[in-house]
Chain A
Amino acid sequence: MNIKRYVAYRLLSSLFVLFGLSLLIFTLSRLVPGDPARLALGAMAPQWAVDKLREQLHLNEPIYVQYFYWVSNVIKGDLGKSLITRRDVFSDILEFFPATFELVMFSVLISSSLAIILGVTAGKYANSLWDNFVRVTSYVGIAIPDFVWAILSVFIFGYLLRWFPTLGRLSSGVVAPTKVTGFLMVDCLLAGRFDIFLDGFYHMILPGSSLVLGRLSQEARITRASVVENLNKDYIMAATSFGIPERTITLKYLLKPSLIPTVAVMGMDIAGSLGGSFIIERIFNWPGIGRYGISAMLSNDINAVVGVVMLTGVFFAFMNIVVDLITAYLDPRIMMKMKSG
């Protein structure tokens, strides 16, 4: 019951954060130089057409009036029209978000599982040859940005070895099944098209793995540090002196508390990937929300910019709550605090 109250409280406080974010991004988007209506219609468009579009966008009103219009439309589920695609920004988000989400989930599954394995083993065998290997590899992973990995992987696995495709979500001539959920992989499975599913999965390997290394390295280091810290705690020594098998100690008593900081970082990594994967999406021509957002910024597509930033904000807020709940599950002390209000 109290957990529900806690979630409700967090949702409510997130609304304030999102309100602040919307004020900030809305104002910034209107302060960027260049008339969005003129940019959308071109230098030679007749003035009446520009004026009409300005009127539709309420650009002639003071900024607080514009914001009022925007908020009242958002409440009705209308984020406005994109000046690039000429469609509802909400429809665009529904179109592009699944592509990024699938990519991010693919990379998260790989990076999280590997990070935990590497971090725990490196921590358990601290200062061993394996630990040093993981350390050096992690430093390299953290130091080199995602886009460098992307370019390297295109060069090695796409250009030299030609193992994986480097462009888009499906091969030429392959048509995606009818949209049901908007998530390509899910829709393929629902339509029973395993051939297209495999083709899509094949296309996801290079862009997805380009997002893996940075996160994997950071999360592995954090897990390792946490494991080392917990290994020296009294309850682990007590468990060991009671003769409890090492496997049980690791999986039952060591892993859960050691994962708490890792989970917090993972949550932020996932949320950050939503907007931060734009370079990867650009390199692999991945039609995701990051790429859409950058195109919108370069074209001064004000409604789309605000829509994408707000989506990222919502996702961050959501991930924060999820992380809190997972942390509470992993640490009974936090759970008890939540329950006691």
Chain B
Amino acid sequence: MSTSNKNMMYVGIVIAIVIIAAGYWWMTQPTQEPEPEPEPEPEPIFYRSTWAWPTRIDPAVGSDGSSLSAIPNLYNSLVRITPEGVVGPELAESWDVTNGGLTYTFELRKGVMSHSGNEITAEDVVFSMDRLLTMGEGLAYLFLPYIDETTAVDTYTVQFDLLKNFGPILTVMYNFYVLDEVTVMENLGEGEYGDLGDYGKEWLMTNDAGTGPYMVKEFLLEEKLVMEKFEDYWGETLDVEGFKFVENAPDIMEMIGTTEPITVRTMMARQELECTDSWQPFENLEEMVETEGVEMIGEVDDALLNLMMHTRKAPTDDVHFRKAIAYAFDYETVVTDIFPYTTMVKGVVNEVLPGYDSSLEPYRRNLDKAMEELQQSKYYDQLDEIEIEIHWCAEVPAEERVSLLFMANMAELGISVKIVKEPWLSMIETMADQELSPNVVVVYNSVHFPEVGGDVMRYHSESAPTWEQNEWLLDETLDAMIEDALETVDQLERFEKYSEIQQYIYDLCPTVYVLQTTTLRGIQDYVDYPYVEYGEHVSGFVYKVPSGFRFFYGLYTGINPP
């Protein structure tokens, strides 16, 4: 055996001994229990919904539908509208009304922490109201004419002194959200408010300084708002009934900025979306229900579709002519064929509004009555020379069908109609000018606050040069009635005054109340939509919910993903 072979043999023997020794050692080791695998993190529960964009989450800026759906999840108000439709406590535990309704004093809950960990005190409430009024944007118009001064009486007591009485102030207060002053002041940018810079406006467009059940996780402009559950939410930490997370409350809420039907339908089919926006074509929703196992749900909301008639332009300046139009219009066809699942208006305001007068007999199609009214009109003998103009919004194609129906109905009375399609931006300009405003405009009107006063205030002369009122009533008597009702603190008395206003408007007949809108959405069957629990069943899948009541998924219903 050569030397090299011997060396190789020795190396082999050494390796074999090492392997055997290692094997022996390993075999003789006490058996160790395998370490238990860590519990997998539970999958977060998502609630994803689509919305018409943009969403502005600064409570002093946002005022449209998607903004007012996001803000209450991030912030809290002093009071809220309860599922029963009355004003109830939220950040305020109690309140007092003194000084003949000119002073409102709120006692705040102690221990309410913001998302940044600061306790909310009366100073934060003062800061939030001052900020809202100074900026004058969003919903500030509801408070500006009335709030004189906001004072922190002590750490947990805040007082609002009013310039004049405003009966529905508590109802309106649910739209006033409290911000954490410290967080806002830490994030001031450059701006036009002196020492306060931009008042945190830019930062608050994509971040929050709230106390709500959810907090901003990520805000991707032009894409989506992602909110995550706030684990130290005061409803939980203070154990407040009605403000605690329910079982299976979503961990993440996404508000996605799209209403594209094909995209929304695909997302629903793939269960990547829990709820659609309310702008989906009815046909798309029906298809989803048939093929994707999606449920359709409808909410009779507090908006109306109106045909506003110019009361200072011939021939709609004649009350009999207007009444003839109101009696000739075919309401039934609209709610059955053009806007299915909507409901007819039973008076001059939406029936879900507190203060609604159900004693008024609504205008319904009755050609005999229409002709009677027309004969009393001063324009009856000039029908051949008359042509009335109806404008509809180019961005809402279904309004063209309403206009065509209007044209057909008026033809039965011998009235010629000219239909004009007009872009919204141009329509706003037209309606702001009394001379340019057409005889009739098709427009949706929402309420400013959940009471009849929040609807009829659009008939005040101050609203005449805005798109909210094409009627150009400029009626001093009505103005005084509206102001008087709004300044009435006693609710019953105020509601009686609302009834008188409704009767007055009914007699003037300035508007053809086409329908009460129903917001239709598609939802996954694993989502228990709160309407079912908190709304009043109307028919099929349509529910009526208290005006102003806002759903918080975390607080009202859970999601049970498949």
**Contact yes or no, A84 B136, CB < 8 A:** no
- Chain B residue with the shortest CB-CB distance to A171: B272
Contact with B along A282-316 (1 / 0, CB 8 A): 11111110011001000010000000000000000
How far, in whole Å, are A167 and B56 apart by their CA atoms in the complex?
Answer: 21
Q: Which residues of A contact B217 (CB under 8 A)?
A: 175
How far, in whole Å, are A48 and B134 apart by their CA atoms in the complex?
Answer: 11
Q: Which residues of A contact B61 (CB under 8 A)?
A: 86
**Is B119 interfacial (CB-CB < 8 Å)?**
no
**Contact yes or no, B252 A167, CB < 8 A:** no
How far, in whole Å, are A287 and B466 apart by their CA atoms in the complex?
Answer: 33
How far, in whole Å, are A300 and B425 apart by their CA atoms in the complex?
Answer: 8
For the A-B complex, the count of residue pairs with Cβ-Cβ distances under 8 Å equals 127
Partner among A33, A49, A92 whose Cβ is within 8 Å of the Cβ of B136: A49
Highest count of chain B CB atoms <10 Å: which of A39, A168, A292 = A168
Q: Which residues of A contact B53 (CB under 8 A)?
A: 295
Contact with B along A133-154 (1 / 0, CB 8 A): 0000000000000000001001
**Contact yes or no, A167 B263, CB < 8 A:** yes
Interface magnitude class on chain A: 35 or more
Are A33 and B425 CB-contacts (below 8 A) given A49-B135, A84-B54, A283-B262?
Answer: yes
Are A282 and B428 CB-contacts (below 8 A) given A45-B141, A175-B218?
Answer: no
**Contact yes or no, B466 A56, CB < 8 A:** no
Are A287 and B140 CB-contacts (below 8 A) given A43-B467, A300-B425?
Answer: no
**Is B48 interfacial (CB-CB < 8 Å)?**
yes
- Chain B residue with the shortest CB-CB distance to A300: B425
- Chain A residue with the shortest CB-CB distance to B269: A159
Contact with B along A71-92 (1 / 0, CB 8 A): 0000000000000111100001
Q: Which residues of B contact A288 (CB under 8 A)?
A: 222
The minimal Cβ–Cβ distance linking B470 to chain A, given in whole angstroms, is 12
- Chain B residue with the shortest CB-CB distance to A169: B223
**Contact yes or no, A34 B429, CB < 8 A:** yes
Are A32 and B425 CB-contacts (below 8 A) given A45-B137, A172-B272?
Answer: yes
**Is A173 interfacial (CB-CB < 8 Å)?**
yes
Partner among A35, A44, A46, A285 whose Cβ is within 8 Å of the Cβ of B223: A285
Q: Which residues of A contact B468 (CB under 8 A)?
A: 43-44
**Is A96 interfacial (CB-CB < 8 Å)?**
yes
Partner among B63, B135, B428, B463 whose Cβ is within 8 Å of the Cβ of A39: B428
**Contact yes or no, B262 A44, CB < 8 A:** no
Partner among B137, B262, B425 whose Cβ is within 8 Å of the Cβ of A49: B137
The minimal Cβ–Cβ distance linking A144 to chain B, given in whole angstroms, is 16
**Contact yes or no, A46 B205, CB < 8 A:** no
**Is A42 interfacial (CB-CB < 8 Å)?**
yes
How far, in whole Å, are A44 and B144 apart by their CA atoms in the complex?
Answer: 11
**Is B438 interfacial (CB-CB < 8 Å)?**
no
Q: Which residues of B contact A283 (CB under 8 A)?
A: 260, 262-263
Are A292 and B260 CB-contacts (below 8 A) given A49-B136, A154-B266?
Answer: no
- Chain A residue with the shortest CB-CB distance to B46: A172
- Give the residues from 107 to 159 in chain A that come closer than 8 angstroms, CB to CB, to chain B: 151, 154-155, 158-159
**Is A95 interfacial (CB-CB < 8 Å)?**
yes
Q: Which residues of A contact B6 (CB under 8 A)?
A: none
Q: Which residues of B contact A169 (CB under 8 A)?
A: 220, 223
Contact with A along B253-268 (1 / 0, CB 8 A): 0101110101101110
Q: Which residues of A contact B497 (CB under 8 A)?
A: none
**Contact yes or no, A173 B46, CB < 8 A:** yes
How far, in whole Å, are A271 and B144 apart by their CA atoms in the complex?
Answer: 48
**Is A273 interfacial (CB-CB < 8 Å)?**
no
**Contact yes or no, A33 B46, CB < 8 A:** no
**Contact yes or no, A86 B202, CB < 8 A:** yes
Q: Which residues of B contact A165 (CB under 8 A)?
A: 272
Q: Which residues of B contact A86 (CB under 8 A)?
A: 56, 58, 61, 201-202, 205
Q: Which residues of B contact A256 (CB under 8 A)?
A: none
Q: Which residues of B contact A25 (CB under 8 A)?
A: none
Partner among A34, A56, A159, A172 whose Cβ is within 8 Å of the Cβ of B426: A34
**Contact yes or no, B466 A159, CB < 8 A:** no
7 more contacts with CB within 8 A, not counting A44-B141, A173-B44, A292-B222, are A33-B423, A33-B428, A92-B221, A155-B266, A159-B262, A172-B46, A173-B252
Give chain B's interface residues, CB within 8 Å of chain A. 44, 46, 48, 53-54, 56, 58, 61, 63, 135-138, 140-141, 144, 192, 201-202, 205, 217-218, 220-224, 252, 254, 256-258, 260, 262-263, 265-267, 269-270, 272, 423, 425-426, 428-429, 448, 463, 466-468
What are 23 A-B contacts with C-beta separation under 8 Å? A35-B429, A42-B63, A42-B137, A42-B141, A43-B467, A44-B468, A45-B136, A45-B137, A46-B140, A84-B54, A86-B61, A87-B202, A159-B270, A162-B270, A165-B272, A168-B223, A168-B224, A169-B223, A173-B46, A285-B224, A285-B260, A291-B222, A292-B222
